[in-house]
Chain A
Amino acid sequence: MNLTLKIWRQKGPKDQGKMVDYKVSDISEHMSFLEMLDVLNEQLIEKGEEPVAFDHDCREGICGMCSLYINGEAHGPDRGVTTCQLHMRMFNDGDTIYIEPFRAKAFPIIKDLTVDRSAFDRIQHAGGYVSVNTSGNTQDANAIPIPKDDADKAFDAATCIGCGACVASCKNSSAMLYVSAKVSQFALLPQGQIEAKDRVLNMVNQMDLEGFGNCTNTGACEVECPKGISLENIARMNREFLKASIK
């Protein structure tokens, strides 16, 4: 198929950016979206132009490195996938595709389609852990039985890949889905109880400091999340926050 691409180009964090048109031809429907961009970049290099900078690494939907806002949706039109798993069969010959970076005040642009998501790491530094030493001299792993249902729910929350699609999709650029996934994982497990109060207060505080917006229960984040992280986690975090705040 032949496509027209409208891509956000921006030399550096302080430069003015703009949308630039490109054409690609003979794209196979079996290609992934990023392989299509590889084709474009090869073309640009051949012509002596600068290739488009975009983040990507594992290309199997788990590292959370790839981003891209494609035709107005984080990770593009397919559901339950990251951009690297999006395949060209989702598009038609002759389509015009708009490709932008994830946009949020807390995700400044580094170059072209690459953004800085280190705010996510700083939220984790504020409490996204259980304070246990790595000595290996903990109790036996089977000493605390955990109801399967709780373990499964904690796992579901823990599958967040930290890509930032929730922030990019939210009209308020809120990071509530991301933060609540980590808070929920520990809130559901006995290991997380000891530090539960400080954790939720500190992580939410850091989230606010980073400049993420608030949640107004629209639910766009849940729809666009490549890992299907549930909105229930936000409700759980709100309960945890309330519990920690009134004592």
Chain B
Amino acid sequence: MSTLDSKIPKGPLKDKWTSYKDKINLVNPANKRNIDVIVVGTGLAGGSASATLAELGYNVKAFCYQDSPRRAHSIAAQGGINAAKNYQGDGDSVYRLFYDTVKGGDYRSREANVYRLAEVSANIIDQCVAQGVPFARDYGGLLDNRSFGGVLVSRTFYAKGQTGQQLLLGAYSAMNRQIARGKIQMHNRHEMLDVVVVDGKARGIIARNLVTGEIERHSAHAVVIASGGYGNVYFLSTNAMGSNATAAWKIHKKGAYFANPCYTQIHPTCIPRSGDYQSKLTLMSESLRNDGRIWVPKNMDDVKAIREGKLKPTQIAEENRDYYLERRYPAFGNLVPRDVASRAAKERCDAGYGVNATGEAVYLDFASAIQRYGKEEALVKGLDASDAKLVKKLGQDIVKAKYGNLFQMYEKITDDNPYETPMMIYPAVHYTMGGIWVDYNLMTTVPGLYAIGEANFSDHGANRLGASALMQGLADGYFVLPYTIGDYLSNDIRTGEISTDSPEFEEAEKSVKDTIEKFINNKGSHSVDYFHKKLGNIMWNKCGMSRNEQGLKEAIQEIKELREQFWKEVNVPGTANEFNKELEKAGRVADFLELGELFAKDALHRTESCGGHFREESVETDGEQKGEALRDDQNFAYVAAWEYKGEPSDAVLHKEQLEFNDIELKQRSYK
């Protein structure tokens, strides 16, 4: 087993990034003009990286599968972005953001990366405001903050429930400025189908023009993968329908190690499933847990009456409600981290207290927040705070101002009015902490090949805190990669343009074309979705919120069989040389069918519980923490980085031992 070199700079944690930046090699502006960089994906990470690299002077070739870079799924992020600004004066600092993130990640992330993330977080807010991102402000004209799960300060900046949209449009506008200057060549409706490695270095990609079906070769001196996470391996998730792991999986097959695939975030507050036809799940922002209280009935009779439609949740008296998060975790209450909140919901529902027909839903209730805000507003306006009707109206207005778009979205989907009755929610797959292994420079195990944003594994350990994904995407793209990639490219100033006529490009293109031909000529009996849904079922049932040895072994076997069946029986209508959505999906599902197996293999080998990875065999058996997840730092304080060797079952494990010099490893307690 080889050891992985994470290339963490020496020196005290606080100085690492600054002194490292002072010493790394730079490329002079005249030489940057002769260097090309490919960026795949245009979300917060890819969009901000493309804009910044182009602004520095590199020639950027950017790719996205959507019809415009603005549609990347970062756009759907709702609640906010963390930054250690301490504008609220509530004790926040770079160290505290770093500490919260490492603890929230259940001590499975890399200290140096997380500290750097916390360090640059404040710049992100400055940058976005300068770009004209309209964050929420208070009446004095200054920026407002809210709280998110797993922390005790208010450090989250937001733009109503559309923070991701506003940040992405900021990055998109920065891209547009460079597209107009000709420094970014934008390739919309293009999908990367392979990376080309020449003499051991990433030198280009093979992409399919999704409109014409043409297979294209694109060369560059470095390739950056910013294609997001692999949550759609579950078929149902909060990801966009097109979100996929193909770029990440293809580079894995060309030598990039894949780290911690089993670390998946199941988000506690999503709209429950309604039927088999369901195509995706919708998130209700974590910010709602600032004001919403989560509960199920205490008595089984009430549960039954609710399911039969004989009782409404508003008719259940306070003393007959079980606010189980407040009961189990008094210090953090409804704002425990996502993995903890999700498991607690599952625990109640498994015990039979679920409040909808499927038994998989709990309440998220705003009644007390409406009361609290309404009374305050009545006092501020000098109105009668004992007038219940008025108080309710005033309170609803405040809640509307804070979460209006989320409430509207909920009502449109469920046909229930959440201002009058509690929302029903249940956990759903949302984010993947695992991803392509990268070193401190965000470079993969293939020289010249980088992975940023959700596509890499580095910052969130085994569980990501709310409002940290936006922070990481923008930190990687705006402030980290532009420095580290320069150090690598400084060796390429004499290389000249990379030719696409080499045997390596030839071979990669041929293999892509062969796969497409195979799909088109297969003429099997089942659609792509048929297989994707089956894979999703295996993943959710056996690699979901809780996992055990037997289930994981079964999952490995079942996914393997499903994959074989897929290649024999998949039906892809249409031709290769046209706009063909089924063909696009086929390629993505083929990759998910391999990734899913590696996921289960990783989950099987990690016999501890940590963050989003909960092994039923590893729980605290007594004391105050009884029933909580039990980590095993002795044996598992490492990053599991898998090397591709053909079949997923042949993947070879490499370990990066995690060192904690500035934080003491502790049982994570939110009690």
Q: Which of A110, A131, A139, A162 contacts B126 (CB 8 A)?
A: A139
Report how far A42 CA is from B277 CA in the complex, Å.
11
Q: Counting CB contacts under 8 A, is A50 at the interface?
A: yes
In-complex Cβ contact of A128 among B123, B124, B173, B578 (8 A): B173
Whether A173 sits at the interface, judged by CB under 8 Å, is no
Contacting residue for A139 out of B130, B138, B274, B573, CB 8 A:
B130
**Chain A proximity of B180: nearest CB distance (Å):** 4
Of the listed stretches A51-59, A95-103, A207-215, name the one at the interface; the rest are far from the partner chain. Answer: A51-59
Closest CB-CB distance, A1 to chain B, in whole Å? 13
In the assembled complex, B278 has its CB within 8 A of some CB on chain A:
yes
Interface of A is mostly: loop
* A177 within 8 A of partner (CB): no
- Interface digits, B215-240 against A, CB 8 Å rule (1 contact, 0 not)? 00000000000000000000000101
Asked if A132 is an interface residue, CB under 8 A from chain B, the answer is yes
CA of A117 to CA of B137, assembled, Å:
33
Q: Name the distance in Å between B99's Cβ and chain A's nearest Cβ.
A: 23
Contacts of B136 in A (CB 8 A): 151, 155
* A111 x B131 contact (CB < 8 A): no
* Shortest beta-carbon distance from B324 to chain A in Å: 28
Inside 8 A of B275's CB, which chain A residues have their CB? 28, 30-31
Q: Give the Cβ gap from A23 to chain B, nearest Cβ, in Å.
A: 17
Q: Does B142 contact A (CB under 8 A)?
A: yes
Q: Binary interface profile of A, 89-130, with partner B (CB < 8 Å = 1, else 0)?
A: 100000000000000000000110010111011001110111
Nearest-Cβ distance from residue A180 to partner chain B, whole angstroms:
15
With A185-B134, A191-B129 as contacts: A64 and B571 at CB distance below 8 Å? no
In the complex with contacts A39-B277, A125-B176, A148-B137, A118-B188 CB distance below 8 A: yes
Say if the beta carbon of B51 comes within 8 Å of chain A: yes
Q: How far is the CA of A62 from the CA of B275 in the complex (A)?
A: 23
Rounded to whole Å, the gap between the CB of A181 and the closest CB of chain B is 11
Which residues in window 39-91 of B have CB below 8 A to A? 48, 51-52, 55, 66-73, 75-76, 85, 87
Minimum CB distance partner of B51 in chain A = A134
A40 vs B142: C-alpha distance in the bound complex, in angstroms?
A: 51
Given A48-B573, A53-B581 in contact, is the A34-B279 Cβ separation under 8 Å? yes
The tally of residues in B whose CB lies under 8 Å from a CB in A reads 81
* Chain A CB within 8 A of B457 CB: no
A199, B277: Cα distance in complex, Å: 46
Inter-subunit contact B241/A59 (CB<8 Å): yes
Q: Which of B55, B134, B278 contacts A133 (CB 8 A)?
A: B55
Determine the chain A residues whose CB is within 8 A of the CB of B52 once the complex forms: 134
Query: Which one, B158-166, B255-263, B548-556, is touching chain A?
Result: B158-166
Q: Which chain A residues border B169 with CB–CB below 8 Å?
A: 158
Closest to B72 in A: A63
Distance between B670 CB and nearest chain A CB, rounded to angstroms = 29
Specify which chain A residues have a CB less than 8 angstroms from the CB of B646 in the assembled complex.
none
Contact B134 A189 (CB under 8 A): yes
| Shortest Cβ distance from A47 into B: residue | B573
The answer, among A111, A117, A141, for a CB contact under 8 Å with B129, is A141
Q: When the two chains form their complex, are residues A65 and B66 in contact, meaning their CB atoms are under 8 A apart?
A: yes
Q: Is A244 an interface residue (CB 8 A)?
A: no
With a cutoff of 8 Å between Cβ atoms, the chain B residues found around residue A131 in the complex are 177
B131 close to A129 (CB less than 8 A) = yes
Whether B137 lies near A146 (C-beta < 8 A) is: yes
Q: Which residues of B contact A (CB under 8 A)?
A: 48, 51-52, 55, 66-73, 75-76, 85, 87, 120, 123-132, 134-143, 159-160, 162, 165-166, 169, 172-174, 176-177, 179-180, 186, 188, 211, 238, 240-242, 274-275, 277-280, 282-283, 408-409, 412-413, 415, 478-479, 527, 529, 571, 573-574, 578-579, 581-582
- Sampled A-B contacts (27; CB under 8 Å): A30-B274, A45-B527, A50-B573, A55-B67, A57-B240, A58-B76, A59-B282, A62-B165, A63-B66, A65-B66, A111-B579, A117-B67, A125-B176, A125-B179, A126-B180, A129-B131, A134-B48, A136-B127, A138-B130, A139-B126, A145-B141, A145-B142, A155-B159, A158-B134, A162-B70, A191-B132, A192-B132
